[in-house]
Structure 1
Amino acid sequence: MQATRTEEKTAETHGGASSPQPQQRLRDKKVGDLIAGKKRLVEVPYTASLADTINTLVANRIMAVAVAAPPGQWIGAGGSMILESDKQTGAVRKHYIGMVTMLDVLAHIAGNDVAPAVEGGGGGGGELERKMQVPVSTIIGHCLESLSLWTLNYNTSILDCMEVFSKGIHRALVPVDGHLENVGGVELMESASSYHMVTQMDLIKFLKVHEAELRGILTRRVRELGGLTDIVFGVTDKTNVIDAIKCMNSASLHAVPIVESTDEIGDDHGQLVNGKDRKLVGTFSATDLRGCPISQLQSCLHMNIVDFLEKLLDTPQQEACGLRTSTREHITCQPESLLREVVDKAINSHVHRVWVVDGRGLLAGLVSLADIIRMMRVWMLSEPA
């Protein structure tokens, strides 16, 4: 009986035909397929303190959080008007005024510097404490990525989504009840009853699930695909944490390689350096600060960056955050690595860039998630429909 009912249902679905429906190709998928099963958007109110915002990032293992405010009182980031409305009445409940990332937090902390703590005294601890208690709404847009807030429609094609994320947009909100057809690109205006967030990493994981259709590009080498970015800015192993934060903020970088300093070059350890052909020591990421207890952050800001990362290994927050901060762990590939290997490393280590090194362990460049998405999209467009 079960088999009969299944056959009847299949025939009804396909207008009497008993043959199964062909599986939808990756290029025909929509953003709605990408967000299937995702939890509702994580957000904080505009009045939340910076300390509470960091706690939200840590608890949810995320790198950015939406900021919600009462409607009609704010101008959204980049002039956006992304509203949450009652599904039945259409009454506006809240206005998403921006997205705050960990780099925004670091930019705020490093903005006017924070004096190191003095043994036996308060030092600059009071200043840092005051910085952590400011409303999160006051730091929106401190880094370039947060200057605009975008939405992607539920029915936007995967290829259009890939184009958006290949151009440097890291995340966008998706209205749950989106109904417009043939929508391409991102929008600044939207009203919906609720939202999800979709990120570059979500897209990469989705593409990985459909790797059978991408075998033609995943089995090719990074060098031949032209996916290697050979300009790499980093910091040295003698840079301190506060200077690294300032360097990252000034260049809108979420992570930098740590390279070995040499007497021959005469590096300025307070500035970004050209990391090309330098020995890779480790990685410093904006998300590393999530694993540092706020109570210890004051004393950490003026530490050597390598010592800081080693110290974080001993904090219980590291496991809770799911962070990779060991200076001994390098997420790298080589120019001859297959693209599949690079994708797997990015997903398994949850990093947004994989450093490319030569046979001597010297930096040759990097492959970012945006690079990977761009390469895959170009290949998909070149394949017969």
Structure 2
Amino acid sequence: MQQEKSKEDHSRLINITAKDLTAGNDPSRLINITAKDLTAGNRRLVEVPYTATLSHAMNTLVANSISSLPVAAPPGHWIGAGGSMIMESDKQTGAVRKHYIGILTMLDILAHIAGGEHNLSDPTDLDRKMGSQVSSIIGHCLEGLSLWTLNPSTTLLECMEVLAKGYIERWCQMLTQMDLLRFLRDHHFDDLKDVLSRSISDLRAVNESVYAVTASTSVSSAIKSMKAALLNAVPIVHAPDVAEEDHLQLINGRHRKVIGTFSATDIKACRLPELQAWLPLSALEFTEKVTVNERETVSCTEEATMEEAVEKVVTRGVHRVWVVNHQGMLKGVVSLTDIIRSIRAALS
């Protein structure tokens, strides 16, 4: 009897589709819902045209509380980022209406603002950069180079295969890694209980390669280093013993005390005048400025269960959890990609 119930639960899990994950329906009904039935409740795709300015795009990101945007252009004039040819057609005529040419991320914006020959003390320099068209910015970071779509009938496990690649976490027909993990947290499947009860170490979800910046690293240096390393966030660590040049670049964060997190999404809390004034600060000072209330670093130990890790990222709205020992020293990181990859592998 128990074996039959387990098989039934597993079948129900496998047959959940991408649209089910964004529809907000009770999982007990999902197996009876087809893709064509799922129209109500799906979120509108937020996008910007290729002619939009960086300032307009940033306002759109902030207004919708998102971290990246697909960029649309007329068909036939552009080669999509990474050679992609993702089009949207008119439902009535079938004629191609637009071509998605890439994704604009917060890291793209930060890298553009802080990069090049810039004068942080000149307000007109920031105004000039924020007036740039988004089409000239996309593709500077890895995430913007990869566009993927999912068919509405794609199963949950197939969604996990795609989202576990990591570099498409922000947009896949408005299905994000966070959508998937929030769904798994909110809907309790019997065949997931064993996986979620295992430690993140046991599931091999911990990435021990973790790069960091020091408390003295400037915002400009942090951004340039993150762009070069294709990182959207880094821990800020206590490192009084490092050489002067190490404050200008990423360092090995392992076995150092975590005192904060510098993330590209921090600029969502900034107005442009504030951003202009805060760019010369250290990364630690910047995070203290953009955070109204004191922000606790989201961390866990290697003994934490996968369920606890999922709960932390979903509840706190973060894309990674720093893994520390019982003395608070950094041992690694567990990202959304790591979580999805390890859960998917455990279900195989």
Query: TM-score w.r.t. structure 2 length?
Result: 0.88
Of 298, 314, 318, the residue aligned with 1:351 is 318
Structure-1 residue corresponding to 2:75: 71
Q: Which amino acid aligns with 1:362?
A: M
Please tell me the root mean square deviation across aligned C-alpha atoms, in Å. Answer: 1.9
Of 256, 272, 283, the residue aligned with 1:305 is 283
How many Å apart are 1:237 and its aligned residue? Answer: 0.5
How many Å apart are 1:173 and its aligned residue? Answer: 5.6
Of 181, 187, 192, the residue aligned with 1:204 is 181
How many Å apart are 1:265 and its aligned residue? Answer: 6.2
Structure-1 residue corresponding to 2:100: 96
Q: Deviations over 1:316-347 (max 9, x none)?
A: xxxxxxxxxx6651100001111111100000
Is 1:155 matched with 2:153?
yes
State the distance in 2 between where 1:173 and 1:262 align: 39
Structure-2 residue corresponding to 1:59: 63
Q: Deviations over 1:157-194 (max 9, x none)?
A: 211211121122333765xxxxxxxxxxxxxxxxxxxx
73-82 vs 208-217, which moves further: 208-217
> Structure 2 regions of 5+ residues with no counterpart?
1-7, 24-40
Native 8 Å contact 2:48 2:57 kept in 1: yes
Change (3 A) 1:360 1:54: same
Q: Deviations over 1:332-374 (max 9, x none)?
A: 0001111111100000111111000101000011111111111
1:365 match: secondary structure: strand
Is 1:50 matched with 2:54?
yes
Match runs of 1:252-291 below 5 Å: 252-263=230-241, 268-291=246-269
Structure-1 residue corresponding to 2:203: 225
Q: Which amino acid aligns with 1:355?
A: W
Native 8 Å contact 2:225 2:249 kept in 1: yes
State the distance in 2 between where 1:342 and 1:173 align: 22
State the distance in 1 between where 2:310 and 2:10 align: 24
Q: Deviations over 1:95-137 (max 9, x none)?
A: 11111111111121122052231xxxxxx22121101001111
Native 8 Å contact 1:80 1:97 kept in 2: yes
2:175 match: secondary structure: strand
How much identity, in percent, do the aligned residues show? 52
State the distance in 1 between where 2:268 and 2:207 align: 28
2:246 match: secondary structure: coil
Q: Which amino acid aligns with 2:175?
A: V
State the distance in 2 between where 1:23 and 1:308 align: 46
How many Å apart are 1:81 and its aligned residue? Answer: 1.6
152-161 vs 140-149, which moves further: 152-161
1:130 match: secondary structure: helix
Is 1:365 matched with 2:343?
no
30-39 vs 44-53, which moves further: 30-39
State the distance in 1 between where 2:47 and 2:73 align: 10
21-30 vs 91-100, which moves further: 21-30
Structure-1 residue corresponding to 2:20: 33
Q: Deviations over 1:35-66 (max 9, x none)?
A: 32331100111111100100000000001111
2:167 match: secondary structure: coil
Change (3 A) 1:328 1:35: closer
How many Å apart are 1:23 and its aligned residue? Answer: 9.8
1:224 match: secondary structure: coil
Rg larger for: 1
Native 8 Å contact 1:259 1:280 kept in 2: yes
Change (3 A) 1:150 1:158: same
State the distance in 2 between where 1:169 and 1:229 align: 16
State the distance in 2 between where 1:373 and 1:23 align: 17
Structure-1 residue corresponding to 2:31: none
Is 1:336 matched with 2:303?
yes
How many Å apart are 1:264 and its aligned residue? Answer: 6.0
How many Å apart are 1:308 and its aligned residue? Answer: 1.5
Match runs of 1:313-328 below 5 Å: 313-314=291-292, 328=295
How many Å apart are 1:197 and its aligned residue? Answer: 1.4
Q: Which runs of 4+ in 1 moved over 2 A?
A: 21-24, 169-174, 209-213, 263-267
Is 1:114 matched with 2:118?
yes
Change (3 A) 1:23 1:254: closer
State the distance in 1 between where 2:9 and 2:289 align: 54
Native 8 Å contact 1:100 1:146 kept in 2: yes
